[in-house]
Amino acid sequence: MTENLRVAVIGANGRMGAAAVAAIGRADGLELVAALGRSDPLERLLETRAQVVVELTVPDSSEQNVRFAVQHGLHAVVGTTGWDAGKRTALAGLLAQNPGVGVLIAPNFALGSVLATRFAAQAARYFDSVEIIELHHPHKVDAPSGTAIRTAQLIAQARAGLPPAPDATEQAMPGARGAVVDEVPVHSVRLAGLTAHQEVLLGSAGEQLSIRHDSFGQDSFMPGVLLGVRKVASVPGLTYGLDGYLELDS
Ligand SMILES: NC(=O)C1=CN([C@@H]2O[C@H](COP(=O)(O)OP(=O)(O)OC[C@H]3O[C@@H](n4cnc5c(N)ncnc54)[C@H](O)[C@@H]3O)[C@@H](O)[C@H]2O)C=CC1
Ligand SMILES: O=C(O)C1=N[C@H](C(=O)O)C[C@H](O)C1
């Protein structure tokens, strides 16, 4: 008989962590062996012989947690935001020293969001202007969202070599044109009642394409979390984006 995969959640008392604890508890072939809150020592991961760590905390804690996991040979599935290029490069270096260990950093676990980002990047070459509006619940601590940053990066890659979007703005109040991520304006809305939403606006003379995704609850992220947990041990090194685990081009 195959043994269950031993999974731990860090950030288990948060919105995402609590949903992940419940989803892992219900999932075939997975066993939840630890659910760590802010005051729990990371050594619990070793005492409980976790094999895969799901990291869903805050940007200030995430890097330290993931590095601890990797240094102890544990695979990690990371949903926390704030993994900029510098942190990812440092982590890739640590993974090179720990061959066989896999880490997935997924800015968004919702399949629809991953697809929407992919579609926006595909479309971006064919329009003069692209701007992103991301809309979230007001408890979110970071802006722009990790998803919007990733989307802007992929759009910028797709538009490499094209002229900048037309924009005659000469005078603007600070923030009026959004944050500029890789030359793509990103506008962040924080509104009571929302969960996680993003709309990419693409415009050219006489037409507009809008690519929108809505997550209405944390359940939208759970299939992606479980996919990551099941796959991460078989993909050594760092994977950035859940699309790395999906065969979107076939
Ligand atoms: N990749 C994805 O699909 C998604 C990612 N997120 C991201 O995941 C992160 C968590 O989001 P939420 O659950 O909504 O936030 P939350 O604020 O509800 O939960 C964060 C939890 O982490 C805990 N925490 C902080 N430092 C910790 C540490 N060192 N050890 C253990 N626990 C610690 C906090 O006490 C809190 O309970 C955020 O960065 C958010 O942007 C959120 C939703 C989807
Ligand atoms: O904090 C959230 O809620 C979310 N965070 C992630 C992000 O910053 O992109 C993913 C999703 O948007 C929900």
DSSP 87-154: HHHHHHHHHHTSTT-EEEE-S---HHHHHHHHHHHHHHTT-SEEEEEEEE-TT---SS-HHHHHHHHH
Q: Which residues of the chain have pLDDT under 70?
A: none
Tell me: do 177 and 128 sit in the same domain.
yes
Q: Is the CB of 228 under 6 A from ligand 1?
A: no
Give the pLDDT of residue 249: 84
Total domain count, the chain: 2
Query: Is the same domain home to 210 and 222?
Result: no
> Is residue 204 in some structural domain?
yes
Q: Which atom of ligand 1 is nearest to the CA of 11?
A: 32
Is residue 191 domain-resident? yes
Provide the token pair at 15.
């919105």
pLDDT of residue 2: 83
On whether residue 83 sits in a domain, the answer given is yes
| Distance, CA of 240 to CA of 55 (rounded, Å) | 14
Q: Residue 87: CB within 6 Å of ligand 2? A: no
Domain-embedded: residue 133: yes
Question: How far, in Å, is the centroid of ligand 1 from the Cα of 184?
Answer: 26
Largest Cα span, the chain? 68
The number of beta carbons lying within 10 Å of the beta carbon of residue 119 is 14
Query: What pLDDT score does 139 carry?
Result: 97
- The span from the CA of 49 to the CA of 72, in Å, is 11
pLDDT (0 to 100) of residue 124: 98
Rounded CA-CA distance 35/226 in Å is: 16
* pLDDT recorded at residue 205: 98
Task: Determine whether the shortest distance from the Cβ of 108 to ligand 1 is under 6 A.
Answer: yes
101 & 225 share domain:
yes
CATH number of the structural domain spanning residue 71: 3.40.50.720
Contact (Cβ atoms closer than 8 angstroms) between residue 187 and residue 134:
yes
The phi and psi torsions of 137 (rounded to 5 degrees) equal: -60, 155
Tell me whether residue 37 is in a domain. yes
CATH classification at residue 192: 3.30.360.10
- Does residue 167 lie in a domain region? yes
Domain match, 84 and 35 both: yes
ipTM field: 0.99
pLDDT of residue 247: 86
Q: Which amino acids are annotated catalytic?
A: 136, 140
Residue 178 shares a structural domain with residue 222: no
Same domain, 15 and 80: yes
Interatomic CA distance for residues 33 and 47, integer angstroms: 10
> Could you report the per-residue pLDDT of 79-119, keeping only the tens digit for each?
999 999 999 999 999 999 999 999 999 999 999 999 999 99
Q: State which residues form the domain around 92.
A: 5-105+218-245
Which numbered atom of ligand 2 lies nearest the CA of 144? 8
153 and 97 within one domain: no
Q: Which residues contact 163 (CB under 8 A, 6 or more apart)?
A: none
* 15-26 helix and 222-231 helix, angle to the nearest 10 degrees: 60
101 plus 117 within the same structural domain:
no
Assess if residue 250 is contained within a domain.
no
Same domain, 210 and 226: no
Residue 172 buriedness (CB in 10 A; 0-12 / 13-18 / 19+): exposed
CB half-sphere exposure, 46, CA atoms < 13 A: 10
* Mutate-to-test residue for ligand 1 from 16, 54, 67, 213, highest number of ligand atoms within 8 A of CB: 16
User: Could you tell me if residue 227 is inside a domain?
Assistant: yes
Same domain, 12 and 78: yes
Mean pLDDT, the chain, as a whole number? 97
Same domain, residue pair 56 and 86: yes
Are 100 and 192 contained in the same domain? no
